[in-house]
Amino acid sequence: MPTKNFIPFIKTVVFAIVLSLSGCSSESEIIENSDKKSILMLHKNYEFLKSKESLFNAITNSGTQKTISKRTVQALDFKIFTDRLTYVKNEEKAKESFTFYIERNNYSPASNTIENLILTKGFNEEEYKAYIITYFFPDGIASEHKNFKVTGFKAVNSETFSFNNLTSKSACENTYEYMVIETAHKCYSGNHSGASEAANCEGKGSLPYSTYQVVAYLTDSCGEGVAGGGTGGDQSGAGGGRSSTPGSGGGAPVDTGISLPPSCQSVDCEVPILANDINVLLGNTLNFEQLTFLFNNDNIATEVKNYLDQNTNAAAKALTTQIIAAMVANPGLKINFTASVNSPMNIDILAITNATTEGKKFLEVYDALTKSPEFKKLFIDMFAESKRFNVKFEIAEKVYENDDPTKKEVNANTSKIAGTDNYIIKINKKIFNKGTDFSQIRIKNAKTILHECIHAFLFVKSKNSTIGMDIETVIDKIYPTTDEQHNFMAEKMIPTMQKILSQIRDLVTTTAGRNVLDTQITMHPTQTPLTSTPWIWSEYYKFLSLKGLEKTVYFKNNFPTGSDQWKLLTKYIEYGHNELDK
């Protein structure tokens, strides 16, 4: 007997298993190399599952389950992965089985164990029987040696996939033995790796091309006797009590094939799983849904991994965890990790691409903003605020005040997305294009985006003063309207906006334009008497930040129309507009 093991077993079951660790392809066919050739094994995909209506319904339509995605179905305390399954057809026994990889919420890859859900029935039967089988791989799941072990096999409810309730404990402990028989098929090279035959298969390198047949039988059935039978060995099925002959006692055999974790079902098992690597970097704090999200979104996982490799401090890890949680909790948004991790909020900019002139210009300006350390911590200094909120950016043909088409057209507007706690910032495409009444230079576009981000944050604060510090203790008043928010910006946010603009200046202005302002422009703070100064950048940032706030009490008091300060502000804006994009 190649492999022999005794394992405690709760229910009286005898079963035989055909196990495959084949990597030929997602649609590969393996036929047992025996005289009868009655066992057919196929590695199938989600489309195959959908074609089997009764099976698909059994997996997805139970009242205790819900479809999470194409890849997974939630069933009680574990998820069923449906992207790949193993199909075994036993012509001699007129039976078939469908085997799915499953994972529990507390699953740890380091355990080197996997669980499979098996649904099996006779060709002429309507109802499925369900089992959960557990395998242990001493050398790791990537290993193809046949010293894996079956460490559990239990019948479960075929509708809920839950274990049957035990009404009593028995002093008798059921055990079973099993043996592993290695067979060969068209991808098999004579070595476990199958490397020399890789060119003839869709696998690569050291993918395992061996097929393992396992014959299991009870050694102590606690006196129960039921019809037997098995895939290998003596198939007599005599039934009853203890026996030393495989398949001679216990329950009906179950044919199955190992369904590996998703990463192993179509590619080399040894390829690192970024989701797991990320979880390790985050102190194993991600839940299964978050891990699955990262596994299914390779581009995001790559961004996250690269960020964590370069930012190992606790703050970076906490920020990453918040953003991943927001991604999972808000499937309606397409949050951009890189933009978000360098922003004061979680950002969805999926709808904006380089395919349009205005999209390209927006992304360039927003990228510049993310280079500002002050922008990233925009609300922390003012509000001691570190909790994230979600904002979607959109470039629109026209944008109206208060999002009301009956009102005047404006540069940008921020409003709540109906039915959510998320906000949308609409940017008028005209501000990015030359020759319109709304045309702006790049640094002013950056100011506009910054201005709207502050609006979004103040809307969040006014709706939920329990987030972070109570806003009333900070600014003495809640600002639920745009005008009130403008008053707050003018009174409290100008120094911060100045600093952000100073940090990104060289990214959103031209060297030639800056040289003109530094060497050729003279400013006049007062007219009577006439005073003169060179161009002062901090003044320019202040005045630029005040644009759009002309109706505020602060602006009216400090920049009365026609006053020297009003004229100075106007000239700074004029010169900047004329020179800084040249």
Q: Measure CA 481 to chain center.
A: 35
Higher pLDDT pick, 33 / 447: 447
pLDDT at residue 510, rounded to an integer = 97
Q: Tally helices (H) and strands (E) across the chain.
A: 19, 21
Model confidence pLDDT, tens digit, residues 3-22: 333 222 222 223 333 444 43
Q: Helix, strand or coil for residue 71?
A: coil
The confidence score (pLDDT) of residue 482 equals 67
pLDDT at 325 over 90: yes
The reported pLDDT for the residue numbered 395 is 94
Whether 475 shows a pLDDT value over 80: the answer reads no
**CA separation for the pair 290, 273 (Å, rounded):** 14
pLDDT at 328: 93
Residue type present at position 252: A
pLDDT of residue 382: 54
Per-residue pLDDT band for 518 (boundaries 50, 70, 90) equals very high
| Cα angle for residues 577, 579, 581 (degrees, 5° grid) | 80
Question: Is the pLDDT score of 200 beyond 50?
Answer: no
Which two structure tokens, joined as six digits, stand for 6? 């005794």
- The reported pLDDT for the residue numbered 243 is 31
Q: pLDDT by residue (tens digit) across 370-389?
A: 999 999 887 765 555 556 78
Average pLDDT for 536-545: 97
At 76, list the tokens: 């009680």
How far apart (Å, rounded) are the C-alpha atoms in residues 209 and 75? 31
What is the pLDDT at residue 471? 34
Query: Does 344 sit behind a cis peptide bond, omega within 30 degrees of 0 on the bond before it?
Result: no
Question: What gap in Å lies between CA 373 and CA 351, rounded to an integer?
Answer: 26
Mean pLDDT value of segment 313-334: 92
DSSP 504: H
pTM over 0.75: no
Q: What pLDDT sits at residue 212?
A: 59
Buried b (16+ CB within 10 A) or exposed e, 568-579: bbeebbebbeeb
Which structure tokens are listed for 43? Answer: 């590695």
Q: Percentage of residues in the chain with pLDDT exceeding 90? A: 33
Between 151 and 320, name the one with better pLDDT: 320
Q: What does the pLDDT average to over 204-213?
A: 44
Does residue 263 or residue 427 have the better pLDDT?
A: 427
Q: Which residues are 348's β-sheet partners?
A: 335, 392
How many angstroms separate the CA atoms of 46 and 8, rounded? 34
Whether residue 357 has pLDDT greater than 80 = yes
More confident residue, 414 or 106: 414
Residue, of 161 and 274, whose pLDDT is higher: 274
In this prediction, residue 156 carries a pLDDT of: 77
What is the separation, in whole angstroms, between the first and last Cα of the chain? 83
Question: Which is more confidently placed, 277 or 248?
Answer: 277
CA–CA separation, 243 vs 247, rounded Å?
Answer: 9
Q: How many CB atoms lie within 10 A of CB 136?
A: 16
Tokens standing for residue 48? 């195959």
| pLDDT of 478 above 70 | no
In sequence order, what are the residues at sequence separation of 6 or more whose Cβ sits closer than 8 angstroms to the Cβ of residue 187? 22, 24, 28, 194, 197, 200, 201, 203, 209
